[in-house]
Structure 1
Amino acid sequence: MSTPENRPGRSSTAAAATNVAADDILRRTLRRHAAGVTVITVPGPAGFTATSFTSVSLRPPLVSFYLGLGASTAPAVREADRFAVHLLGTQNAEVAGQFARSGVDRFQSIAWTEHGDGLPVLDDVPAWLTARVTLRQPVGDHLLVVGEVETGAVRQDATALVHHDGAFAAARRLLPQPIRRAS
């Protein structure tokens, strides 16, 4: 009789995966997922490096990110009514590293401009946007924050900074032209 463990074609890796805790499976799997690197800032100033930024909706224009409930910036994020998202290029790898560190002044030696109500906007990034918080919701061990886009700018064309397998890397275009959606 064929059991799941001895079925033809079942790899030993698949069998071993059943003995691994779900949170470890998630952690190891997500290390294989390349994600764009951003810096999220809120008034204070406070900020952190994030790979959880995503679009939610075009109408209305909504974006979101997640932050660990125990993160040092979590209190500032809980209090903020606005946030800025900075899309980073490969030239911003040091900025990403600095905003990922705990116990340091993350804004030290970083050029930024106050954008109303104390919201810090980093100066030397390829693109940024600001958003007004519309939802804050604890989800598991993280805080989901959704915001409606208010302002932003694309300043320069740059190779995107991504995070993959525990390190920063450069995103490289493989196709000669962007993929266009069917009408």
Structure 2
Amino acid sequence: MTVTTRAAELLKRTLRRHAAGVTVLTVPGPAGFTATSFTSASLEPALVSFYLSTTASSASAVRAAPVFAAHVLGEDQQDLAERFARSGVDRFAGVPWSPGPEGVPLLRDVPAWLTARPVLCQEVGDHLLVVGEVTAAGCGDSRPPLLHHAGVFGSFRTA
């Protein structure tokens, strides 16, 4: 095992202990994928970011997209997260959505969503970092979020 491989395994093992919110990112095409790397990057201006493997099936669509949408999933949407994480299937089949600005798919029945215009798209190691300026957002309901931790989905309850 090389030093790089050991570092990658250590990173994966360590970050499995970090609970992350689950989102589905979509771009015109339509194309989309499940991500736990979505986060805010700045309040002024309003910026968000996510990472995607450079070898992911959606990577070329993301690179070309003039806009993307991020959908925050609720605890009851594990099936949706699994669908958009699966390769080799039509991820949008049977999923209710409508076209938003510039054709970006907006998924229905999610607790929250936003659209953003990419301002940075840069390779960082074996991933693509995308930073976008928020152009619109909406909240559907206040159901608890879907989380990913230690390789499984779960939910959050206040103590």
TM-score range, shorter chain: over 0.9
Displacement of 1:116 after TM fit? 2.1
Displacement of 1:152 after TM fit? 1.0
Q: Does the 8 Å contact 2:33/2:58 carry over to 1?
A: yes
The aligned runs of 1:20-39 (5 Å cut-off) are: 21-39=6-24
Task: Name the SS for the 1:108 alignment partner.
Answer: coil
Q: Aligned partners of 2:29, 2:19: CA distance in 1, in Å?
A: 30
Q: Aligned partners of 1:170, 1:116: CA distance in 2, in Å?
A: 31
* Alignment coverage as a number of residue pairs: 156
Match among 41, 59, 64 for residue 79 of structure 1: 64
The aligned runs of 1:119-158 (5 Å cut-off) are: 119-158=104-143
TM-score (norm 1): 0.83
Displacement of 1:91 after TM fit? 1.4
Which residue in the other structure is 1:179 paired with?
Answer: none
Q: Aligned partners of 1:91, 1:151: CA distance in 2, in Å?
A: 24
Consecutive unaligned residues of structure 2, counting only runs of 5 or more, are: none
Structure 1 stretches of 4+ moved >3 Å: none
Which residue in the other structure is 1:51 paired with?
Answer: 36
Displacement of 1:79 after TM fit? 0.4
TM-score (norm 2): 0.96
Q: Does the 8 Å contact 2:36/2:148 carry over to 1?
A: yes
Which residue in the other structure is 2:84 paired with?
Answer: 99
Structure ID, larger Rg: 1
Q: Aligned partners of 1:128, 1:108: CA distance in 2, in Å?
A: 20
Aligned-CA RMSD value: 1.1
Which residue in the other structure is 1:12 paired with?
Answer: none
Task: Name the SS for the 2:80 alignment partner.
Answer: helix
Displacement of 1:81 after TM fit? 1.3
Q: Which has the higher strand share?
A: 2
Q: Does the 8 Å contact 2:66/2:102 carry over to 1?
A: no
Opposite residue 44 of structure 1, the aligned amino acid is G
Task: Name the SS for the 1:91 alignment partner.
Answer: coil
Q: Aligned partners of 1:40, 1:69: CA distance in 2, in Å?
A: 15
Give the share of equivalent positions with the same residue, in percent.
59
